[in-house]
Structure 1
Amino acid sequence: MLTFEEKLTIIESFPELTRNDISLGRVNFHFEESVKDKKVVVYRLHPNGNGFVYAGEIENSDYVTDSKGMVNIRDFTEKELRDVIQQSIASLSESETVTETWINNEGQTLKLIETSGVWNIYAGDDLDATHATYHAAADYLYQEGFRLL
């Protein structure tokens, strides 16, 4: 299990989130750019490591959420935490447009999606990589043996 400090470091690496300290040492993180009524992405992150991320708008996810759409992140790995936060932000963003589908010689496909100014590569619902520019994402895909479909 990641510590409170490790989770804070991961969450604070998302510049689009704003930290809000609340009672009992707990912390919320808001996505002020949300186009939906929901702005809280990380909810009640507690010094004991427990906390929640909003996953209620994430399409095709396997996250088990409560009645408020929150998924418990207590036992999440770094990758799982990064993935759910990124997906949560994307789900609350104005548009998530599938830009391109890439395929390799074995018939496997990846989706290249531009979200909030970054380029994400998805294998199904799983985030495979994130790049700051289209060029970097395309280079990565070429190096991995994919070509534009």
Structure 2
Amino acid sequence: MLTFEQKTAILDSFPELERKDVSLGRVNYHFEGSAHEKKTVGYRFHPNGNGYVFAGLLGDYDTDDKGFVNVRDFTEEQLREIVEASIRSLAPGTGSSSKSPKPAQPAPSAAPGDETWTDGGDQELILKLEDETYFIYSGFSLEMAFETLEEAEEYLQEEGFSRK
């Protein structure tokens, strides 16, 4: 396992990321150039070895309900790879101009706890709870954000969507 210092040195080596020292000796890394609401790439890197990287827009990792992967036991190569992929997934114009574009998809797969809503035709939206906010995604694009589940569901119903 990499040490805290090794992990933070790896994340510090990405000029796109801004280091933010938080409580209890933990460190977060933000990507201010993100094209999405989500700006946190590295989350709660702690001297005890724990740390998380956002992979919610990547299909290759098992993520928690907020889209993060625990990288406690990652090698240097694995950590660099997931951080690079996370930044690419959040960067503007990652569709057609990216070095390794992802195939076009109508919507990302819903994670456990997410809800898929459909208009009865070919359009699907994903309702996702992240950081105590309800987000509605169309594909990889954020459509709307709400403070309560009731507001989000009301919006979806008004727009002609129902739970799948």
Give 3-state SS (helix, strand or coil) of 2:6's partner: helix
CA distance in 2, matches of 1:80, 1:33: 23
* Percentage of matched positions with identical amino acids: 55
Map of 1:77-92 to 2, 5 A cutoff? 77-92=75-90
Q: Deviations over 1:94-114 (max 9, x none)?
A: 122566xxxxxxxxxxxx817
Map of 1:52-67 to 2, 5 A cutoff? 52-58=52-58, 60-61=59-60, 63-67=61-65
Q: Deviations over 1:75-133 (max 9, x none)?
A: 0000100000000000000122566xxxxxxxxxxxx8179xxxxxxxxxxxxxxxxxx
Q: Deviations over 1:123-148 (max 9, x none)?
A: xxxxxxxxxxxxxxxxxxxxxxxxxx
Show the counterpart of 1:4. 4
Q: Deviations over 1:41-63 (max 9, x none)?
A: 000000111010000011x31x1
Question: Letter of the aligned partner of 1:78 in structure 2?
Answer: E
Q: What is the TM-score normalised by the length of structure 1?
A: 0.64
After the TM superposition, which segments of 4 or more aligned residues of structure 1 sit over 4 Å from their partners? none
Give 3-state SS (helix, strand or coil) of 1:113's partner: coil
Show the counterpart of 1:128. none
CA contact (8 A) 1:97 1:113 kept: no
Show the counterpart of 2:49. 49
Question: Letter of the aligned partner of 1:44 in structure 2?
Answer: R
CA distance in 1, matches of 2:74, 2:15: 21
Question: Letter of the aligned partner of 1:80 in structure 2?
Answer: Q
- Residue 90 and residue 75 in structure 1: after superposition, are their counterparts in 2 closer, same or farther (change >3 A)? same
Unaligned 5+ segments in structure 1 are 100-111, 116-149
Unaligned 5+ segments in structure 2 are 102-164
Greater strand content: 1
